[in-house]
Structure 1
Amino acid sequence: MADYSVSNDSASRELEVLKLSVLFDSHFFNGLPTQVHFTHNSSMVGTWVDHQGVANLSVSLDRIRFMNSDQLAFLIAHEYGHLVLKHPEKTVEIQQQFGVASTFDEFMLSFDMKREYSKLMREMEIQADLFGAKLALGLGRDPELGASFLLGETKGIQHPEGTLRVAKIKSEKESMAAEDFSDTFDSLAVQLGDAEVLAALLPSNLVLYRGDTPAGVKAAVESWSEPGMEPAYAGGPDYGFEVSILLTLAVLACALPRWWRKTSGG
């Protein structure tokens, strides 16, 4: 099997993400490039499909800075799981079904609707986890170790608790390992080493474009420091809608007067 490993030097993280992205583009999308956004001032990792139908992958440089090769392989494989399984499109359908257009809409769903909505969203995360685990195994990586960064993740409306996700991967790993991966990646028409990635990504010698992304560029390093610059992601192990303390207090402030009148008989 071809070796897709990379050193633990933090400077190689961007290149490893690009290697995996080009490999998965070749395998799943006939080489049609996924636009990669390496971001500063953001902790988000996720995928989405823009209005032109182009698949996008956002990767926080801060999040991957200290990841080892197993973790990085699982992370990118998980995100491609969302794309291959068409989770961005399914997310839009689910949100339209429940009338969700914002974080506040999610928070204000009734108990029964929120439970059903959360079930559908969390199921997609588990599907992407298992898809990513299988891909990681195909690359010769350990998916359980790869998913270890999820252990500290708490349960959210879109994401199951991290410990449960890792436990699910662990329970499925043995059956996955029994599968024959010999043809999964070795049969690819393009086997990419570092030099081949540099040649395949851009017509120039640059791997990354820092600033506004011109047409045809595979990846760019961007700064998402302004509110509202980050797109609405369809999924990702490091992304979940969170309700701020201020929002919670605002909702309580609106509800308390009504509750007080009811209980006091006023």
Structure 2
Amino acid sequence: MANHSLEVLKLSVLFDNHFFNGVPTQVHFIQNSTMVGTWIDEQGAANLSIGLDRIKFMNSDQLVFLIAHEYGHLVLKHPDKTIEIQQQYGIVSTFDEFMLSPDMKRDYSRLMREMELQADLFGAQLVLGLGHDPVSGASFLLGETKSIQHPEGTLRVAKIKAGEQSLVAEDFSGTFNNLAMQLSDAEVLAALVPSYTQPIDSIDSTVKAAVESWPASGAGSYAGDTLYGFEVSVLLTIAVLACAMPRWWRKTSVG
């Protein structure tokens, strides 16, 4: 698991330098969670959450694709677009998505799923640029079912495979000579807070990453405005049915 966390941090440093002039993305490693997501916080800073259970058994290709896909959302400004779409359709919580009329739900779903496919193809170009196989990397999506915000996983992989020949690999050669890949494990570990128990809102912006355990009740606070995650929609649905909607459950997911 430590090796996976190190790889995530190295990729994050590389992508931050390549796309955001080195402005750091705050990485949240979430214990006992499979949630994965990106969002922009109230200060305008980019955040990436990684459920440690999600990456536990991933191979190198899959891990690179996962992080590349999430950065695709950030680079393509999907958090902002998601907020615009939600405002257009009056979406405040996941419950509101299910209350849309059939026609509105179809149109809303199409817009949200398009962003997933865009992030997939963008991520595939990053994966190629790093010398990995995008189809193999996306293979973990094969078990994902279709939802309001997500295309079926088999369709996503099929689209990557169909467009593989036309993909243009991202050129990272000028990004400080692949700075992130040259970082020693000790340097990366120095940026990682091994345990974090304070409220997420209080995380020092100079800290690159922290290991956290998000609260399962309203006692804690979730900093994000928009969350892209593979399993959040299911969890939110359960929360609605249970009539328990603490603040951090109310975030919208995309994956």
TM-score bucket of the superposed structures, by smaller chain: 0.7 to 0.9
Q: Secondary structure, in 3 states, of the residue corresponding to 1:241?
A: helix
Match in the other structure for 2:233: 241
What does the per-residue CA deviation read over 1:125-179, in whole Å, with 9 as the maximum and x for residues that have no partner?
A: 0000000011001100001010100000000000000000000000011111xx4
For residues 61 and 158 of structure 1, what CA distance do their matches in structure 2 show? 23
For residues 246 and 224 of structure 1, what CA distance do their matches in structure 2 show? 15
Match in the other structure for 2:208: 218
Counting aligned pairs with the same residue, the percent is: 62
Superposition TM-score, scaled by structure 1 size: 0.81
For residues 58 and 69 of structure 1, what CA distance do their matches in structure 2 show? 18
For residues 7 and 45 of structure 2, what CA distance do their matches in structure 1 show? 21
What does the per-residue CA deviation read over 1:58-104, in whole Å, with 9 as the maximum and x for residues that have no partner?
A: 00011001100000000000000000000000000000000000011
Superposition TM-score, scaled by structure 2 size: 0.84
Match in the other structure for 1:208: 192
Alignment gaps of 5+ in structure 2: 244-255
Task: Decide which of 14, 37, 58 is 1:67's aligned counterpart.
Answer: 58
For residues 149 and 232 of structure 2, what CA distance do their matches in structure 1 show? 6
Deviation of residue 190 (structure 1)? 4.5
**Computing the radius of gyration over CA atoms, which structure comes out larger, 1 or 2?**
1
For residues 8 and 242 of structure 2, what CA distance do their matches in structure 1 show? 40
What does the per-residue CA deviation read over 1:1-58, in whole Å, with 9 as the maximum and x for residues that have no partner?
A: xxxxxxxxx3200000000000000000000000000001322100000010000000
For residues 190 and 78 of structure 1, what CA distance do their matches in structure 2 show? 22
For residues 215 and 40 of structure 1, what CA distance do their matches in structure 2 show? 20
Match in the other structure for 2:103: 112
Structure 1 residues 50 and 197, CA gap change in structure 2 (3 angstroms)? farther
For residues 171 and 227 of structure 1, what CA distance do their matches in structure 2 show? 43
Cα pair 1:87 1:235 within 8 Å, conserved: no
Deviation of residue 233 (structure 1)? 3.5
Alignment gaps of 5+ in structure 1: 1-9, 251-266
Structure 1 residues 223 and 245, CA gap change in structure 2 (3 angstroms)? closer
For residues 209 and 156 of structure 2, what CA distance do their matches in structure 1 show? 30
For residues 249 and 50 of structure 1, what CA distance do their matches in structure 2 show? 28
Cα pair 2:33 2:51 within 8 Å, conserved: yes
For residues 185 and 125 of structure 1, what CA distance do their matches in structure 2 show? 23
The 5 A counterparts of 1:1-266 are 10-176=1-167, 179=168, 184-192=171-179, 193=181, 195-196=183-184, 198-199=186-187, 206-209=190-193, 210-211=195-196, 212=198, 213-227=203-217, 229-230=221-222, 231=224, 233-236=226-229, 238-242=230-234, 244=237, 247=240
Q: Secondary structure, in 3 states, of the residue corresponding to 2:23?
A: coil
For residues 240 and 66 of structure 1, what CA distance do their matches in structure 2 show? 20
